[in-house]
Amino acid sequence: MEIGLYTFADVDASAADKGAVGAQRLKNLLEEIELADQVGLDVFGLGEHHRPDYAVSSPATVLAAAAVKTKNIRLSSAVSVLSSDEPVRIFQQFSTVDLLSNGRAEIMAGRGSFIESFPLFGYDLGDYDQLFSEKLDLLLAIRDEEVVTWAEGQLRAPINGRGVYPRPLQEKLPVWIAVGGTPQSVARAGALGLPVAIAIIGGEYPRFAPLLQLYHEAARRAGQDPTKLKTSINVHGFIADTTEKAADQFYGPQAAVMDRLGRERGWAPTNRAHFDQARGPTGNLFVGDPELVAEKIVAAHRVFGNDRFLLQMAIGLMPHDQIMRGIELYGTKVAPLVRKELTGSSYGAKPAA
């Protein structure tokens, strides 16, 4: 199982000098990606947002900078908001990252959990689903063929025999589908034979297991090769030297983010009791010392049989030194414990289709 990180590069939206704040956050972010590579983590994902509380609107740009500072870690968007972007440009940008990184780039495509990009780029939210479906079809056509002829869409103009360059170093640029808890999205990924990443940011994590069963069943019905299917579980969490320290350091920034989003989406406010419950054995938060977090990752793998596990530690205004210590512990303590436990065990079996 691959073990990694993802982040949205949060910043202080109330800062007067947004340029200076953004510059510092990107400097810190590159240090975090470098450290993740040095301590042996497998993947680093970076999200796309168009809001004042996040520093990255162009994941490929930052990942290109990270590509020349790292050696082994895979570099992915998490996610690229495909519905409001241009598939040709996404492919070109990530092919460029692939060339710079010697074949380590990936695209994680999603419809986006925020809607700011749609009016920003002139798209109608009424076309939300159709935009994603058409643009995913085009992105896969570009991935599979150097010279593209495509006329499958109503919202995007056709392409007639045009080459798309540069081509990636990898034979095929990996494209993952990122989903929340929507069964239709999971089934679509399975039917297309694409890897799927499921974000779990609330509730008991075992309740998401049926989605992976649906994924494998949809793939089977569509005749997809089961050996090519991959799944990722993406969660919130934090690691410190002690479980008490991890909880105390993570609660404030994580709660501030969830409450801010909650005010936008009508969620009830969080509190420390809810937080502590969520970091229980089957809760959605993976927070604690290295041994506790490793045990919980292994326990989740028993449920999901997932191929990848991504942890979002840098949430809200987490201090950079705490994030760096968390990454160090994740790579040097947690990942070896998880790999040792899973190697030679029966936990690697896929969920039954």
Check: CB of residue 276 under 8 Å from CB of residue 322.
no
Q: What is the pLDDT of residue 265?
A: 86
Query: Which structural domain range is residue 252 located in?
Result: 2-108+167-342
Token representation of residue 104: 């380590």
Whether the pLDDT of residue 337 is over 90: the answer is: yes
DSSP string, 192-255: HT--EEEEE-SSBGGGGHHHHHHHHHHHHHTT--GGG--EEEEEEEEE-SSHHHHHHHHHHHHH
Domain presence at residue 116: no
pLDDT tens figures, 94-152: 999 999 999 999 999 998 778 899 999 999 999 999 999 999 999 999 999 999 999 99
Domain presence at residue 30: yes
Check: CB of residue 75 under 8 Å from CB of residue 32.
no
pLDDT band at 346 (very low <50, low <70, confident <90, very high): very low
Whether the pLDDT of residue 319 is over 70: the answer is: yes
Domain presence at residue 198: yes
Average pLDDT, the chain: 95
Domain presence at residue 118: no
Domain presence at residue 122: no
Domain presence at residue 212: yes
Nearest to 81 by CA among 120, 53, 52: 120
Work out whether the CA dihedral 238, 59, 233, 129 comes out positive or negative.
positive
Check residues 266 and 57 and name the one with the higher pLDDT: 57
Nearest to 106 by CA among 310, 324, 323: 310
Q: What is the pLDDT of residue 351?
A: 45
pLDDT band at 344 (very low <50, low <70, confident <90, very high): low
Over residues 255-264, mean pLDDT:
91
Token representation of residue 272: 């420390």
Pairing of strands 308-312, 159-163: unpaired
Over residues 299-305, mean pLDDT:
97
What is the distance between the alpha carbons of residues 39 and 229, in angstroms, rounded to a whole number?
Answer: 27
What pTM was computed for the model? 0.95
CATH code of the domain covering residue 262: 3.20.20.30
Over residues 31-55, mean pLDDT:
97
Domain presence at residue 158: no
Pairing of strands 80-81, 147-150: unpaired
Question: What domain count does the chain have?
Answer: 1
Token representation of residue 226: 């089961």
Q: What is the pLDDT of residue 350?
A: 45
pLDDT tens figures, 76-92: 999 999 999 999 999 99
Over residues 324-330, mean pLDDT:
98
Domain presence at residue 156: no
User: SS3 of 169, please?
Assistant: coil
